[in-house]
Amino acid sequence: MPQPLPEWSSMPKELLESIGKRLASGHDAASFRSACSPWRAAVPFATFGPLLLLPFDPNSDTVSLYCVSEKKAFSLTLPDVRGKVPCGSSCGWLALMDEVASVTLLNPITGARVDLPPADEHVAAASSWERVSKVHGRWFLPNAIKLQEMRGVFFHEIVLSVAPDAGRECVAMAVLASSTEVAFCRAGVDSAWTLLDTKLECSVASIVHCQDKFLAIDVTGEISIFSSNATVTDATPIATPLPSLSPPAGLCHRRLLESLVLDVDPHKSDRYLHDG
């Protein structure tokens, strides 16, 4: 009589953690974590160095990842990246946008995906200094906007408050291409993006999430802060610009502020994949 196959997901937690501590590389850890939920929980997310997502061909379903600690690359087959360009990475998930400005969140290790609302006319109007119109499902400016141009017109960067599978509401906050406004939505809840005025004088260049707050940084380094909790409770977040900081002589104002923000952001230490 053949022996029943072992139930790998029911292995003792202590044994899984012991095995996890002996993994030699980030590649091994990624394979281990992708097996099932108990195995993923046994290996802390930030145990190994980050994997960098290298530029990929949107006509292909294969991507290359570079392991910083091992100084080598390996490939993954991800059918969901075909026909899309990356527009951010956060909490181990990639944000991908297609040529009609629809956005997908993808976990490149587990293959899990979550669809976010597509850009609409309100987002288009806030994103570009020029008139953007939609004709037969395609966006024009004035010619049809190509896939490689989408980040320069719509969502330049998308940052998450938590991972979509973290067990609590995930808020996605988007940097628009040329705007002092940002857009946000709740993954799996909202059917459209909501615009929020950051009250900054110049276009927002980057967003950071830290301690239940989003920080918007404009192109000059000025910062505006607003709570991510308000978006979860259906309240409209209120943006509060922070007082300007005077950087030491000889240092770039924007770069100094960005480095300070990144140093205190707990999610950055857990970031597993980065937009190349």
Least confident of 48-62, 184-198, 217-231, 232-246: 232-246
Confidence bin at 275 (pLDDT 50/70/90): very low
- Residues 67-86 have a mean pLDDT of 87
* pLDDT, position 156: 94
Residue type, 227: S
Question: Using an 8 Å Cβ cutoff, are 164 and 114 in contact?
Answer: yes
Question: Distance (Å, rounded) from C-alpha 30 to C-alpha 43?
Answer: 9
Six token digits for residue 27? 């590649």
- Residues 67-88 have a mean pLDDT of 87
Residue spans per domain, the chain: 1-48, 82-274
Model pLDDT for residues 5-42, shown as the tens digit of each residue:
567 778 888 888 888 777 766 667 777 777 787 887 88
* 135, pLDDT greater than 70: yes
Cα angle 54, 44, 263 (rounded to 5 degrees) comes to 65
**Assign residue 92 a region: left if phi > 0, alpha if psi is -120 to 50, beta otherwise?**
left
Model pLDDT for residues 236-260, shown as the tens digit of each residue:
667 777 766 555 554 444 433 333 3
- Residues 179-186 have a mean pLDDT of 94
- Where are the extended beta strands (E) located within 91-222? 93-97, 103-106, 113-116, 133-135, 138-140, 155-160, 171-176, 181-186, 194-197, 204-210, 213-218
Question: Using an 8 Å Cβ cutoff, are 226 and 239 in contact?
Answer: yes
Which is higher by pLDDT, 33 or 152? 152
CA distances for 116 relative to 50, 52, 90, angstroms? 25, 23, 14
Six token digits for residue 50? 């980050």
* 70, pLDDT greater than 90: no
46-84 residues labelled b (16+ CB within 10 A) or e (exposed): eebebbbbeebebeeeebebbbeebeeeeebebebbeeb
Question: Distance (Å, rounded) from C-alpha 103 to C-alpha 99?
Answer: 10
* Residues in CB range of 75: below 8 A, 6 or more apart: 62, 63, 64, 65
Positive or negative CA dihedral for 187, 119, 184, 242? Answer: positive
